[in-house]
Amino acid sequence: MSGQIVQKAVSVSTAVPIGIAVFLRDIVFPPRCAHCHCLTGRHGGLCPPCWSTMRFIERPFCEVLGTPFSHDLGPGMLSAEAIAHPPVFDRLRSVAIHEGIARDLVHDLKYRDRTDLAPMMAGWMVRAAAQALEDCDMVVAVPLHRTRLFARKFNQSAELARHVARLSGRPFGPLALTRNKRTAQQVGLTANARALNVRGAFNVPEGHSPQVFGRRIVLVDDVFTTGATVSAATRALKRAGAFDVTVLTFARAVSGPI
């Protein structure tokens, strides 16, 4: 059942006490797993079997790229990739490996209009980047070009960023970063082709530069693959004077065994 319908059921009437409204909602729309839809104890969560298959990213991991380590190498350790090819952003944090249920949740949000998943996913993202969010001045989403936004009707990254900002109590800057070039879909492109595809695609509008200059920014996207998109977005933020940029995604691709 659509999350939008569930949310409407909660606000049946302002004259009905919230406890009764929630009780009635749960009778009409009982809580179900966000992935397999089996009955659960509460809305906006996963059942135990689905939860157990999620590959959450926990410490130890690379302090810069957030790449999980197979064993603890000590505090502050960096991966070989972070040392050899330092990213333009300051750090990356993600909730889970982009496979299985995590990949399905991303696809459901992005391609099946499951915007009801965004609050749940954002809650996990807030936990994954707790320190960065505590220190940041603003949450910004990787934007869509206006023509793609018109076709898709919503930006999944903006939905996640909006809820991340709300849950963390940080300002959300929906207009602080724009996409001024319509690019081809990144899916199926090589790493070099992805980087060329999004080169110069982002910009901080002149009127929003004061929001960015000297600030610590958390940049939200749904998935980190090669990093081409968030790197191009970070360059635009840094050109506008951003002091620090943390990239926060729900899922991230990892090559090789962990």
The predicted model scores a pTM of 0.87
For 44-81, write each residue's pLDDT tens digit: 899 999 999 999 999 999 999 999 998 887 888 999 99
pLDDT of residue 243 exceeding 90, the answer is: yes
How many angstroms separate the most distant Cα atoms in the chain? 61
DSSP labels for 155-176?
Answer: -HHHHHHHHHHHHHT--B-TTS
Cα 146 from Cα 148, distance rounded (Å)? 5
Cα 200 from Cα 62, distance rounded (Å)? 28
Please name each of the domains of the chain with its CATH number.
Answer: 52-252 (3.40.50.2020)
Cα 66 from Cα 64, distance rounded (Å)? 6
For 158-206, write each residue's pLDDT tens digit: 999 999 999 999 999 999 999 997 776 777 677 788 888 788 889 999 9
Helices (H), the chain: 3-10, 18-28, 48-53, 80-84, 100-111, 118-128, 130-135, 146-152, 156-168, 191-197, 209-212, 228-239
The neighbour count for residue 239, using CB atoms within 10 Å, is 13
The neighbour count for residue 58, using CB atoms within 10 Å, is 9
For 84-123, write each residue's pLDDT tens digit: 999 999 999 999 999 999 999 999 999 999 999 999 999 9
Residue 236 or 15, more confident: 236
pLDDT band, residue 28 (cuts 50/70/90): low
> Which pLDDT score is estimated for 208?
95
